[in-house]
Chain A
Amino acid sequence: MSTQLKSDPEQESLVEMTHIEKVFNPGTISEVSLFHNFNLSIRKGAFVSVIGSNGSGKTTVLNLLCGSVSPDSGEIKVGGKEISHLSEFRHSRFIGRVFQNPAAGTCPELTILENLSLADNKGNRFGLTPGVTRKRVDYYRSQLELLHLGLEDKLDVHVASLSGGQRQALALLICTMTPIKLLILDEHTAALDPKSSENVMELTERFVHEKNLTALMVTHNLKYAVTYGDRLLMMHRGRIVLDAEGEAKKAVGIRDLTARFDEISLEDGNSI
């Protein structure tokens, strides 16, 4: 049976979502049937941007992958392993997630050093050995230098006193410090000022490339969706209405996307 040749590793798919069904609040007046036979496959090493209006199901896709929402039926496989039955914290062992809210990805009451020490120990046992090992400080400094935010000199500062941009950059570093299979970016620049979000996006691109990550990024910023990543998905009412990869993706411009949004809006009975 297993004589079949391994496919090209570049083309090997990492994420396989098949026949996903999801209804929110079933049986109530606010019932929303979001996914009906939803399928999505992401190859290893891809950097996918996802856009779509509110309620289109972007965030639900991320939540399904991270295990914070479970599907009514269907399969979700990451790296060939069925994961939809695992609890959320078990997903985190191979999936890293950066949230829209910069407060979500770090611990405000702990110092930068303590945050990094915790992240550094991800995947290992948390025993009764000292939480902060001074031996690793140089390594943490070198990692923080990658952010170009001067945080390497603020190791003992509480994360609560950092700006949103700094916290988000730190969250990104924390997420990618230990090996993960999939990086999930949940509108992670939406709460930042333009300069900070540029910085965080550049960092994202660099980390994804340097660490050979597979990334799935939801964004409302069409410019980022067009500029970054090698595949673009547009979602509407639980369906993928545009899927461009490689050369086709490079040809897509912001105007095309806004035009498509208008079309969708017309389909919904709105007038422009």
Chain B
Amino acid sequence: MDIFLGLANDVLMEGFIYAIMAIGVYVTYTVLNFPDLSVDGTFPLGACVTGALILAGVNPWLACVIAFVCGALAGGVTGLLHVRLHITDLLSGILVMTALGSINLIVTGGKSMLAYYNKPTIFKTGLMTNIPDSAQNWAYAGLALVCCLVVKLLVDLFLKTKTGLLLRAAGDNPQYVVSLGKDPGSMKILGLMIGNGCTALAGAVLSQRSGSANTWSGAGMVVMALAAVIIGTSIFGRMKFIPLTLSVILGMVVYKLCVVVAMQLGLPADDLNLLMAILLTIALVLNNIAPSGGRRKKQDVNPTQI
């Protein structure tokens, strides 16, 4: 029973932390229609920036905010490469991801891993210090949930503002944004900044939980986040009473559950990336063959050809 509860705790805590990234990828992939690969670089960027800042004695919450800003800047570069220099979306992401491989090492001062186990983190300060040891793991999961709900709420609020509406329009019909006298390119850059900011924030929170930052922790993040977004929006997004951002969070929890179950069934840790790729493939295929009529399904049909 204890083992089961421990696993449930892992699923929820990691699920909620990675869900912050999934919400960011939801903004770039679902809202903006932009397959953003720079996520693989911005996730460890968030972790490394937090690690370096906390080692320098910066407040852990402030470190989270700075990590978000750094991620947003990296996302902005992806956007600029694509929008202003007309490099394809996939390549822009790959370029930034590759560049971040070096930048992350610069942030950590050349080390592939920064450890700060004894330093204060958001999991060890404030109210968290009063939690009895027995409930500690659940308090961690609770804090992760709070973080991801705050991000969800902010993203929801933003998407309802005038700029947010314009951002949704830019992903949906860039020509419409042009006809409003606005540049859809700027909206793409903004969306990529939000998406990568969230990703870096997820990296920062996860790194604070483990008390260490790895420069190589970003491998497979795009695949994981996309799988969560697609699982979430295609399973839970069809239910009208679940907002899409919430369905993305649930998607990430389900995804983590799949991974943990597979590991418990004896899958070696080395095969994790293979499993991640297979899970995304299954999600994509299921999403393609799912009966249409789900809400907000993109219409691929050109109305002039009907």
> Could you mark each residue 271-306 of chain B with 1 if its beta carbon is under 8 Å from any beta carbon of chain A, else 0?
000000000000000000000000010110011101
| B179: contacting residue among A92, A100, A126, A127, CB under 8 A | A92
Query: Does B176 have its Cβ within 8 Å of any Cβ on chain A?
Result: yes
- On chain A, the number of residues with a Cβ less than 8 Å from chain B's Cβ atoms is 41
Known contacts A89-B177, A101-B302, A110 near B161 by CB under 8 Å: no
Contact B168 A105 (CB under 8 A): no
Assess whether A108 is in contact with B181, with CB atoms less than 8 Å apart.
no
A101, A106, A127: the one contacting B161 at CB < 8 Å is: A127
Option from B160, B176, B179, B180 in Cβ contact (under 8 Å) with A132: B160
A263 vs B167: C-alpha distance when bound (angstroms): 50
Q: Would you call A118 and B180 a contact (CB within 8 A)?
A: yes
Verify if A88 is at the interface (C-beta below 8 Å from B).
yes
Interface residues on chain B, number (Cβ under 8 Å): 29
Q: Specify which chain A residues have a CB less than 8 angstroms from the CB of B303 in the assembled complex.
A: 101-103, 164, 167, 191
* B168 with A110: CB separation less than 8 A: yes
Chain B residues with Cβ under 8 A from A93's Cβ?
A: 181
With contacts A102-B304, A104-B175, A108-B299 known, is A128 near B162, CB below 8 A?
yes
Contacts of A107 in B (CB 8 A): 168-169, 172-173, 176
Which of chain A's residues have a CB closer than 8 A to the CB of B298? 109
A209 at the interface (CB under 8 A from B): no
Q: Which of B160, B175, B182, B304 contacts A100 (CB 8 A)?
A: B304
Q: Of all chain B residues, which has the CB nearest A187?
A: B304
The total of interchain contacts (Cβ-Cβ below 8 angstroms) comes to 103
Chain A CB within 8 A of B165 CB: yes
Q: A158 contacts which chain B residues (CB < 8 A)?
A: 296
A201 in contact (CB, < 8 A): no
Q: Which residues of A contact B163 (CB under 8 A)?
A: 126-128
Cα of A97 to Cα of B176 in the assembled complex, Å? 10
List residues of chain A with CB within 8 A of the CB of B296: 109, 158
Contact B183 A87 (CB under 8 A): yes
| A159-187 at interface with B (beta carbon < 8 Å) | 160, 164, 167, 175
In the bound assembly, the distance between CA atoms of A167 and B86 in angstroms comes to 31
Q: How far is the CA of A255 from the CA of B225 in the complex (A)?
A: 63
Contacts of A89 in B (CB 8 A): 177-178, 180-184
Contact yes or no, B158 A128, CB < 8 A: yes
Interchain CB contact under 8 A, B165 and A117:
yes
A106: chain B residues at CB < 8 Å are: 173, 176
Q: Does B164 contact A (CB under 8 A)?
A: yes
* 11 A-B pairs in the complex with CB atoms less than 8 angstroms apart: A101-B302, A103-B173, A103-B299, A103-B304, A107-B168, A123-B181, A126-B165, A128-B161, A160-B299, A164-B303, A191-B304
- Give chain B's interface residues, CB within 8 Å of chain A: 158, 160-166, 168-169, 172-173, 175-184, 296, 298-299, 302-304, 306
Interface on A for B, CB 8 Å cutoff?
87-90, 92-93, 96-97, 99-110, 114, 117-119, 121-123, 126-132, 158, 160, 164, 167, 175, 190-191
